[in-house]
Structure 1
């Protein structure tokens, strides 16, 4: 194992101290953060600032170099897809850049719970990558919002967009699983040109999905773990070659991001009846459905919110708010509780505190362990929350339907 391989393996295995929040689900892309002095109670007494965000967007905010970036879709009177940067200390807008203006026909119809800006941006080396699914992808300067390139190759979408991009070895990779075909695409980050495209070739009725890839180490090399309808595959970043795959029937409309722990990938299978799979990656080549799936759980599995893993425990909530703790090694359910609210935002774990945000606008914070759950705080944002929070420097950043909030101790 090379030092670089060892570092990435450790990075994915353990909680990461949050100094930046560069992509969907944070520094390790898995929603688990080591942080101190982070507030559980979020109210007027510890509100640092609140900023209204124009338009509609369920994308999660990202942060680097003291700037928070969000994407949104603004009616003006047509649709403008925008990226907005705010100063993390003051909440003031630093820049606001229009990126695309899709026609109504190109944007298409979206699901009632979706928006035209649901894919979260990504920040790397001073560049913001703003992704809007079938409506386009753009690279901008983090400092001033200057556009470096735009990529646009539309495809027939279903219910809108949702999956977020990843960056590895100089390529930006994202799902393009539309109504008629399931694809994985990679763009050269320096030019924005298409570098490769992988056809999933699934034999399923509904080919559309909204998966966000995850980069892992397997067999001494980086692998892009990417889900589509009916299957998940491990792809080579350089050329999109399919290394291994697991099939799971007719599962479609994938949203939750996979999670990696100790040589295993854990993922859900989408509609109609979601399952949670534990897949061993050691020696994975070709189809490994019958050889590497170690267990399957079928009770209270999400179709929208991503889950978290801490040690040997998996904390997972389904879309109706039924929260479970599963054994990571066996899939056995250790306990079950309920938020009694609909949950679409992905779970975030800070030390042993689990943060969850509801479609009705509540922000739940609980102490969790394999023994059970203890309520710490229930916060009220008075409007829906679909985005996942940023945790940094003793603060919590929350994006609700119309506002961005910073709370701190």
Structure 2
């Protein structure tokens, strides 16, 4: 799923290369038709990704052999007669798929959610009745946990979180948001975040950022556990957790970045904010935690490294302009991919060290996938394989 099996972008069993050459290090490059910012996901030697026509009338899934880049499946999942408007900076295939043994789950926002057989790519079930007006196109990715599929639906008309039975596609629960948006402008109600499930004091919690607030739910029942008010709209992140704190960015406006203690909840149901920061915080890219370090790259390409527990800033450096892709790491190095084709590797340390920076011919909006001894990079129109370091 989005940001790997644990959803945090960290694959400690990997070995990212210190230097990446845009020519000699590319094992293969496979064209991907249409447009899509969804991230590739990998399981059992197969890469899955979604794409769509620019007008949104046709939405497809591709399966690609991880070894040689051969396209195994390329099939249309949904067709739409009159799609709603999608912002030119977005696509109709910006929600990343989820894969498990035997099954692939694809989600295109209001246009449909489907479960496919991973061998044949045939549809096992589909839902086209989970409706909301995303206003700028779909972007919230689903997550899979214990046989259930979860995703957020924060539109300008309705806002809710939904849980589906992954085997049947039937709704297990659906909970409306109860948020005071402090505005009559519905544009301020929308968000594009991906939820995350964390264990807190031995209990699982589904944490789902929205406009103005982040809310935690019981994954089994949908009952609310706590909330935090941080302001903002258009949040596009996936939360991360480390050292007992949950880190959330707020999108456009608001406090931008908050560190939440989910064990301290007041009488009104609000969790404690341990620290917050409003400078150089990404609106689209998700943060990553490596050890006790919180690293993130702002939309304008400034990488910041902070202490998870205190929020203290250790360093900040500009890599390049325009970053939407989320960073990934092997625990020692952090890989960053920019909208202009920049691919940089920095050390995950308290002192800044740029290990390498190279230029690809196309830009990156999708987050890389790390699997099968390789890094898979999705650019505007291609999927690349780059092998991990051997030493």
CA contact under 8 A between 1:133 and 1:163: conserved in structure 2?
yes
Single out whichever of 129-138 and 190-199 deviates more from structure 2.
190-199
Name the structure 2 match of 1:10: none
Instruction: Give 1:333's match in structure 2, choosing from 302, 307, 313.
Output: 313
Instruction: Report the alpha carbon displacement of residue 288 of structure 1 after superposing the two structures with TM.
Output: 4.8
Instruction: Report the alpha carbon displacement of residue 283 of structure 1 after superposing the two structures with TM.
Output: 4.8
* Equivalent-residue separation in structure 2 for 1:70 and 1:161 (angstroms): 15
Q: Deviations over 1:307-344 (max 9, x none)?
A: 11112211111100111111111112111110132100
CA contact under 8 A between 2:214 and 2:228: conserved in structure 1?
yes
* Equivalent-residue separation in structure 2 for 1:304 and 1:68 (angstroms): 24
Q: Deviations over 1:214-268 (max 9, x none)?
A: 011123221111111111111111221111111123x111101100112211111
Name the structure 1 match of 2:50: 71
Q: Deviations over 1:262-289 (max 9, x none)?
A: 2211111111255211111225476454
* Equivalent-residue separation in structure 1 for 2:285 and 2:127 (angstroms): 28
Q: Structure 2 regions of 5+ residues with no counterpart?
A: none
**Within 5 A, what are the aligned runs for 1:139-158?**
139-153=115-129, 154-158=131-135
Name the structure 2 match of 1:55: 34
* Equivalent-residue separation in structure 2 for 1:80 and 1:274 (angstroms): 38
Q: For residues 239 and 321 of structure 1, do their structure 2 counterparts lie closer, same or farther at Cα, with a shift above 3 Å needed?
A: same
Name the structure 2 match of 1:129: 105
Single out whichever of 38-47 and 51-60 deviates more from structure 2.
38-47
Q: For residues 121 and 36 of structure 1, do their structure 2 counterparts lie closer, same or farther at Cα, with a shift above 3 Å needed?
A: closer
* Equivalent-residue separation in structure 2 for 1:143 and 1:377 (angstroms): 39
Q: Deviations over 1:88-111 (max 9, x none)?
A: 00111111221111233xx31112
Instruction: Confirm or deny that 1:399 pairs with 2:378.
Output: yes
CA contact under 8 A between 1:198 and 1:240: conserved in structure 2?
yes
Q: Provide the aligned C-alpha RMSD in A.
A: 1.7
CA contact under 8 A between 1:169 and 1:238: conserved in structure 2?
no
**Within 5 A, what are the aligned runs for 1:67-216?**
67-74=46-53, 79-104=57-82, 107-153=83-129, 154-204=131-181, 205=183, 206-216=188-198
CA contact under 8 A between 2:56 and 2:92: conserved in structure 1?
no
* Equivalent-residue separation in structure 1 for 2:5 and 2:79 (angstroms): 31
Instruction: Report the alpha carbon displacement of residue 377 of structure 1 after superposing the two structures with TM.
Output: 2.0
Task: State the aligned residue count.
Answer: 381
Q: For residues 274 and 110 of structure 1, do their structure 2 counterparts lie closer, same or farther at Cα, with a shift above 3 Å needed?
A: farther
* Equivalent-residue separation in structure 2 for 1:364 and 1:210 (angstroms): 26
* Equivalent-residue separation in structure 1 for 2:354 and 2:342 (angstroms): 13
Instruction: Give 1:320's match in structure 2, choosing from 279, 295, 300.
Output: 300
Name the structure 2 match of 1:5: none
Instruction: Report the alpha carbon displacement of residue 37 of structure 1 after superposing the two structures with TM.
Output: 4.4
Q: For residues 36 and 239 of structure 1, do their structure 2 counterparts lie closer, same or farther at Cα, with a shift above 3 Å needed?
A: closer
* Equivalent-residue separation in structure 2 for 1:215 and 1:243 (angstroms): 13
The two structures have a TM-score, normalised by structure 1, of 0.89
4+ runs of 1 displaced by more than 3 Å? 35-38, 283-289
* Equivalent-residue separation in structure 2 for 1:96 and 1:342 (angstroms): 31
* Equivalent-residue separation in structure 2 for 1:342 and 1:255 (angstroms): 15
* Equivalent-residue separation in structure 2 for 1:169 and 1:327 (angstroms): 32
The structure carrying a bigger helix percent of its residues is 1
Q: For residues 310 and 38 of structure 1, do their structure 2 counterparts lie closer, same or farther at Cα, with a shift above 3 Å needed?
A: closer
The two structures have a TM-score, normalised by structure 2, of 0.93
* Equivalent-residue separation in structure 2 for 1:265 and 1:52 (angstroms): 38
Name the structure 2 match of 1:255: 236
Instruction: Report the alpha carbon displacement of residue 27 of structure 1 after superposing the two structures with TM.
Output: 2.1
Instruction: Give 1:34's match in structure 2, choosing from 12, 37, 43.
Output: 12
Q: For residues 93 and 262 of structure 1, do their structure 2 counterparts lie closer, same or farther at Cα, with a shift above 3 Å needed?
A: same
Single out whichever of 398-407 and 362-371 deviates more from structure 2.
362-371
* Equivalent-residue separation in structure 2 for 1:312 and 1:93 (angstroms): 40
Instruction: Give 1:221's match in structure 2, choosing from 191, 195, 203.
Output: 203
* Equivalent-residue separation in structure 1 for 2:192 and 2:160 (angstroms): 11
* Equivalent-residue separation in structure 2 for 1:263 and 1:220 (angstroms): 12
* Equivalent-residue separation in structure 1 for 2:34 and 2:168 (angstroms): 29
CA contact under 8 A between 1:72 and 1:83: conserved in structure 2?
yes
Instruction: Report the alpha carbon displacement of residue 186 of structure 1 after superposing the two structures with TM.
Output: 1.2
Q: For residues 34 and 140 of structure 1, do their structure 2 counterparts lie closer, same or farther at Cα, with a shift above 3 Å needed?
A: same
Name the structure 2 match of 1:16: none
Q: Give the SS at the match of 1:45.
A: coil
* Equivalent-residue separation in structure 2 for 1:130 and 1:338 (angstroms): 35
